[in-house]
């Protein structure tokens, strides 16, 4: 795979939060037009990684190159214009609670384009149609179910037709139907709009079923990457434990402690 095929290129990324090391050394490339999944146990820094790509957090060292530019070398204004090429679906949906569904989806268009009111309206209706919620335009976020809120947020994330769409745990907390809807939607949007999708998730089966390329993070490092079948056949015990959900293995079930017998007998 040549470098130009990669929309996002992360190299030697290091990041600490206070004393805690979140990323030791991350090297990762995300190919253009594909669905790439970033997986890993909770708290390994998947959301943090997405925020690095979006330039919301700055690494201690290392580089994040998006579409040929180093995100963290940009001035504020340049960064904001780079972000117009990125859509992000936050874990909680993050709809603006004082705006209706329509206004939420229209917002990125209003602040980032000079389109007329009629055109914005048409675009919003088309995006909402794509996620199946054209009938919900006048509802407020508080009136939506979790799955609907996430679909509205998805419509908002793709409002500007970004070249990269990042999904932070899109399936978390969804019922099986909502999950199925989202899985199909992400796949369909990726194919029809031709953008690059980055999915952060720990729902293994759903993610393996749609991702072209998978990368597993653990302990601040990439422990495995490859296609779904390569991951399934990986010989690494950590990977096997993670994708099969074994309770104990290289990642211990017990929080580090002294031996039980020692503690009981004092």
Partner 1 sequence: MLDTLAITGRLCIEKLAGFGRATFVLLHALLVWPQPGNSIPLIVKQLYSVGVKSLLIIVVSGLFIGMVLGLQGYTILVDFASEDAVGQMVALSLVRELAPVVTALLFAGRAGSALTAEIGLMKATEQLASLEMIGVDPLRRIVAPRLWAGFISMPLLSMIFAIVGIYGGAVVSIDWLGVYSGSFWSVMQSSVDFYDDVLNGVIKSLVFGFVITWIAVYQGLESVPTSEGISQATTRTVVYSSLMVLALDFVLTALMFGNI
Ligand X SMILES: Nc1ncnc2c1ncn2[C@@H]1O[C@H](COP(=O)(O)OP(=O)(O)O)[C@@H](O)[C@H]1O
Q: Minimum CB separation from partner 1 for residue 120, in Å?
A: 14
Instruction: Answer whether 71's CB lies under 8 Å from 58's CB.
Output: no
Dihedral angle, C-alpha 188, 64, 30, 237, nearest 10 °: -120
Instruction: Answer whether 36's CB lies under 8 Å from 27's CB.
Output: no
- List interacting residues with ligand X (CB under 6 A): 17, 22, 42-48
Applying CB under 8 A, which of residues 90, 139, 146, 219 lies at the interface with partner 1? 90
In Å, how far are 34, 161, 165, 238, 264 from 100, measured between CA atoms? 32, 21, 23, 44, 58
Q: Minimum CB separation from Mg ion for residue 43, in Å?
A: 8
Judged by beta carbon, residue 201 or residue 234, the one nearer Mg ion is 201
The dihedral through the CA atoms of 258, 219, 202, 145 has a sign that is: positive
Burial 184-201 (b: 16+ CB within 10 A, else e): ebbeebbeeeebbbbbbb
Residue 96 is a binding residue for partner 1 (CB under 8 A) = yes
Applying CB under 8 A, which of residues 48, 91, 240, 241 lies at the interface with partner 1? 91
Judged by beta carbon, residue 47 or residue 236, the one nearer partner 1 is 47
Distance of alpha carbon 42 from alpha carbon 19, whole angstroms: 19
Paired sense of beta strands 61-66 and 69-70, if any = antiparallel
Residue 56 is a binding residue for partner 1 (CB under 8 A) = yes
Site for partner 1 in 102-121 (CB under 8 A): 107-108, 111-112
Residue 97 is a binding residue for partner 1 (CB under 8 A) = yes
Per partner kind, with CB cut-offs from 5 to 8 A, the member of Mg ion, ligand X, partner 1, none near residue 17 is ligand X
Judged by beta carbon, residue 90 or residue 136, the one nearer partner 1 is 90
Closest among 19, 40, 11, 17 to 218, alpha carbons compared: 40
Query: Which string of x and - marks every residue 15-54 that binds Mg ion (by CB under 5 A)?
Result: --------------------------------x-------
99: tokens are 């705006």
Instruction: Compute how many other C-beta atoms are within 10 angstroms of the C-beta atom of residue 91.
Output: 17
Judged by beta carbon, residue 57 or residue 136, the one nearer ligand X is 57
Residue 31 is a binding residue for partner 1 (CB under 8 A) = no
Residue 9 is a binding residue for partner 1 (CB under 8 A) = no
**Residues found near Mg ion in the complex (CB under 5 A):** 47
**Residues found near partner 1 in the complex (CB under 8 A):** 51, 54, 56, 80-81, 83-84, 86-88, 90-97, 107-108, 111-112
């Amino acid at each position: 795979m040549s470098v130009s095929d990669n929309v996002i290129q992360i190299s030697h990324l290091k990041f600490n939060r206070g004393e805690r090391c979140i990323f030791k050394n991350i090297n990762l490339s995300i190919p253009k037009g594909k669905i790439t999944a970033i997986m890993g146990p909770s708290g390994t820094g998947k959301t943090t990684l997405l925020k690095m790509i979006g330039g919301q957090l700055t690494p201690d060292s290392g580089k994040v190159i998006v579409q040929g530019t180093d995100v963290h070398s940009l001035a504020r204004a340049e960064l904001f214009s780079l972000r117009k090429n990125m859509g992000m679906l936050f874990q909680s949906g993050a709809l603006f609670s004082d705006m209706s569904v329509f206004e939420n989806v229209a917002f990125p268009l209003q602040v980032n384009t000079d389109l007329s009111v009629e055109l914005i309206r048409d675009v919003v209706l088309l995006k909402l149609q794509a996620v199946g919620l054209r009938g919900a335009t006048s509802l407020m976020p508080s009136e939506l179910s979790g799955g609907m809120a996430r679909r509205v947020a998805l419509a908002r994330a793709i409002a500007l037709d970004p070249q990269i769409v990042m999904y932070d745990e899109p399936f978390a907390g969804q019922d099986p139907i909502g999950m199925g809807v989202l899985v199909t939607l992400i796949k369909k949007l990726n194919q029809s709009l031709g953008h690059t999708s980055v999915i952060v998730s720990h729902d293994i089966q759903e993610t393996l079923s749609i991702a072209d390329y998978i990368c597993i993070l653990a302990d601040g490092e990439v422990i495995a990457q490859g296609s779904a079948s390569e991951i399934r056949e990986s010989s690494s015990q950590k990977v096997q434990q993670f994708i099969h959900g074994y309770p104990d293995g290289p990642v211990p079930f017990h929080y580090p402690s002294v031996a039980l017998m020692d503690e009981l007998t004092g």
